[in-house]
Structure 1
Amino acid sequence: MIPRNALHDVERALGRQAAVALLGVRQVGKTTLALDIARRMDAVYLDLQTRSDRAKLSDPGFFLNQYEDRLVILDEVHRVPALFPELRGLIDRGRRRGRRTGRFLVLGSASVELLRQAGESLAGRIEFVSLGPLGVLEVAPDAATSTSLWVRGGLPDSLLAGSDEDSFAFRRNFIRTYLERDVGEFVQRRLPPETLGRLWTMLAHWQGGLLRASELARSLGINTATVGRYIDTLTSLFILRRLPPFVANVRKRLVKSPKVYVRDSGLVHALLRIGDFDTLAGHPVSGASWEGFVIDNLLAAAPPDTGASFYRTAAGAEMDLVLELPGFTKPWAFEVKRGLAPRPSRGLRSAMEDLKPERTFVVYGGDERFPLAPGIEAVGVRAMAELLAGLRTRSAQERTKADVHSR
């Protein structure tokens, strides 16, 4: 088992809240992480995808009340939506008896649905933790492993497959399962799997581009509202990321459409039938794929309350990623370059004049860290993720001190 950085986030959240929701795309390792926690804490584990475990909750109050002194892990909790009001009553009764934290860990693959259900029933009683694909800080720090992570993506079964062929087959089957079954669970009017597959493929070709729902709709022969609904669903299922534009007080015409990324680079490559590094290196999507890979890794490492966006003006000023980090009054700015000899672009320099960032980095494909120009530093993706992870740790420590002081 590859140790997951989110383990500490979950443990800290259980230490301060009665319920914790662990969210992430299917096959990302939520169950594996939860079972590890179950062994550490002698927890009760229920897989609500199985009929036998769902039957145990036919009277949830009676069953769960027997385990008030133990953590209860509920996997695939969205399959029993009526459970949330019951959890609220159990949590409130437990609080009156002094059992305030570490009661329930719920796992799910659809953030919007879980947020809605939990918001209605468990407001003030639940904390959310996201588990993304394996990142650069969770795998061996050598060039070959980092390249495999980019090519194969961070889904554990894909990354750890015995060959590129096996990895590619896993990802193609993963996509087929989503197209034929999983997405349909969260939308009322279903597109045929063939049409949805074309939408996914177009989004992979569009990696890192501005979201133009009307253009996608025209190409697919469907209406814009349907495209928007499916993009919302894919975002809530952690398949897509919509990166909003940075709102700046400048007298320039700003791009107002979000950028869209398929979040896992391995899925981008599977959708485009790119099976290995040699094919990827010469493919037109290579640069955009690397950009999405870097952004996903940096956001996974950053403090959870970080604001993320991009900056672009009609005149050509551009910054691939702008992070508003806790504790800093000015943003950190990032340009992403795939090559080993990065140079700051003219658009980056123009964006720096507009944004006046605290720090500016060019994140590139190498490992060395060096100054590129006044106020601009070149840094590899792992080193950049480590720097942001340090800020995340500091932020968590400050929150812990604040919680202790408030008590």
Structure 2
Amino acid sequence: MISRVLENRILRSLRFFPAVGILGPRQVGKTTLAQKLMSELNKPSIYFDLELAEDFQTISQNTSWVIENNVDKTIVIDEVQRLLPLFPQLRALIDRKREAARFILLGSASPDFLQKSSESLAGRIAYHELSPILASEADSIEIPMRTHWHRGGFPDALLAPDDGFWLQWQQNFIKTYVEQDLSKLGISISIPLLNNFLRMISHVHGSLLNYLTISNSIGISATSVKRYIEILEQAYLVRRLEPWFVNVSKRIVKSPKIYIRDTGNLHFLHNIKQPDDLTAHPIAGASWEGYVIEQVINVLDPAIQPFFYRTSNGAEMDLVLVDGLTPVVSIEIKISLAPALKRGSSESVNDLKTVNNFLVTPKGGNVAVKPGWLHCNLNELLQNLRTLKIINI
């Protein structure tokens, strides 16, 4: 079993909060992680999966009885978004006997899960988002970074026996999301058009998000495009990275950039079937950029927020890490093995006044390339950020 970075954070929350919510896309490993947590808690536990008819009936019809007769146990409820009326009942039962680790609630793509649980369980629940397997986690079982970058971090896809099975898993995963989950979440367009929409998003991966351009390309309104991208974000399929522009007097680009969060999904949508096909593909540079950004964001200290930076006169930085209102780290990401820092990077650092600046490539080397700049690979970057107490792994 792959050890997950999130495990210790969740165990810490369970020592204080009555309920802990673990969020994430389908097949990311939430159930596996919950089962591991159950074995490590200092109290017995019981598990219900609301996708099973008998478990759904048990919980929905006998909520109070089940909970009161298992008051000494941690109750794990999987796919809890299928029974949203449960949350007000949980609040009453928690308040009747408030103690740590009473519930672990697992939920996948559902905007209503966060809203309903936040409304009902405010102050009683801590949330944790489980990402696909990270590079640092894959490295612990000796999966090469090149393989992880190509296949992405969904466990079954990453651990597939060969690239053919990886491709088949991706086909099934995207089909499930397109034909079932996304339509339930409110994307009310035909399946062929939704497939085209996802492929269009894959082609603007790493670019400034222009709703009108996407609208014109696939023939739906810009308002619908914006709403559908919000749904994809809530379903943990895409990430919108916002620009940093607080307290800066220059003309700043204020549109977000968009990324498909899992590079395995991205490469499938581009029909990149094996790692050798990736390096020569036009999407390779943007893919590497999104890959590095996702590995960093998922282990950031909660106090640190991620942004990018771009001005109308050419200053640009791929990732800026901000503590409060202070940029503390600038990260430029290049796929070239012999990159050169451009004027725009230097201008960005002058604007942002960051002391710690990193140029990240696949090769790296932890080599100073100019004052205030270190050239490193992904593993070296994570080590440096850990030393700076920017990340928690």
TM-score with structure 1 length normalisation? 0.92
Structure 2 portions without partners, runs of 5+: none
Return the letter of the residue paired with 1:84: F
Return the letter of the residue paired with 1:121: S
Q: Is the 8 A contact 1:301 1:385 kept in 2?
A: no
Return the letter of the residue paired with 1:78: Q
Matches of 1:278 and 1:178 in 2, distance apart?
Answer: 27
Deviation at 1:200, TM superposition (A): 0.7
Return the letter of the residue paired with 2:45: A
Matches of 2:143 and 2:230 in 1, distance apart?
Answer: 35
Q: Deviations over 1:14-54 (max 9, x none)?
A: 11211111011111111110111122333111101111101
Q: After superposition, where does 1:280-319 map in structure 2 within 5 Å? A: 280-319=278-317
Structure 1 residue ranges (4+ consecutive) displaced by more than 3 angstroms after TM superposition: 141-144, 386-396
Structure 1 portions without partners, runs of 5+: 397-407
Matches of 1:275 and 1:292 in 2, distance apart?
Answer: 18
Tell me what 1:206 maps to.
204
Aligned length: 390
Return the letter of the residue paired with 1:52: E
SS in 2 for 1:340: coil
SS in 1 for 2:188: coil
Q: Is the 8 A contact 1:25 1:237 kept in 2?
A: yes
Tell me what 2:8 maps to.
8
Is 1:73 aligned to 2:70, yes or no?
Answer: no
Deviation at 1:197, TM superposition (A): 0.8
Tell me what 2:229 maps to.
231
Return the letter of the residue paired with 2:49: D
Q: Is the 8 A contact 1:302 1:391 kept in 2?
A: no
Give RMSD over aligned pairs.
1.9
Q: Is the 8 A contact 1:303 1:325 kept in 2?
A: no
Q: After superposition, where does 1:19-168 map in structure 2 within 5 Å? A: 19-41=19-41, 42-57=44-59, 58-95=61-98, 100-110=99-109, 112-140=111-139, 145-168=144-167
Distance 1:240 1:217, change over 3 A: same
Distance 1:390 1:233, change over 3 A: farther
SS in 1 for 2:341: coil
Q: Is the 8 A contact 2:364 2:375 kept in 1?
A: no
Quick one: percent identity of the two aligned structures? 38
Distance 1:22 1:391, change over 3 A: farther
Matches of 1:313 and 1:143 in 2, distance apart?
Answer: 40
Distance 1:56 1:387, change over 3 A: farther
SS in 2 for 1:266: helix
TM-score with structure 2 length normalisation? 0.95
Matches of 2:16 and 2:282 in 1, distance apart?
Answer: 47
Q: Is the 8 A contact 2:299 2:392 kept in 1?
A: no
Deviation at 1:280, TM superposition (A): 0.9
Matches of 2:158 and 2:349 in 1, distance apart?
Answer: 37
SS in 2 for 1:332: strand
Q: Is the 8 A contact 1:73 1:105 kept in 2?
A: yes
Give the stretch that moved more between structures: 45-54 or 189-198: 189-198
Give the stretch that moved more between structures: 203-212 or 360-369: 360-369
SS in 2 for 1:63: helix
Return the letter of the residue paired with 1:347: G
Q: Is the 8 A contact 2:209 2:255 kept in 1?
A: yes
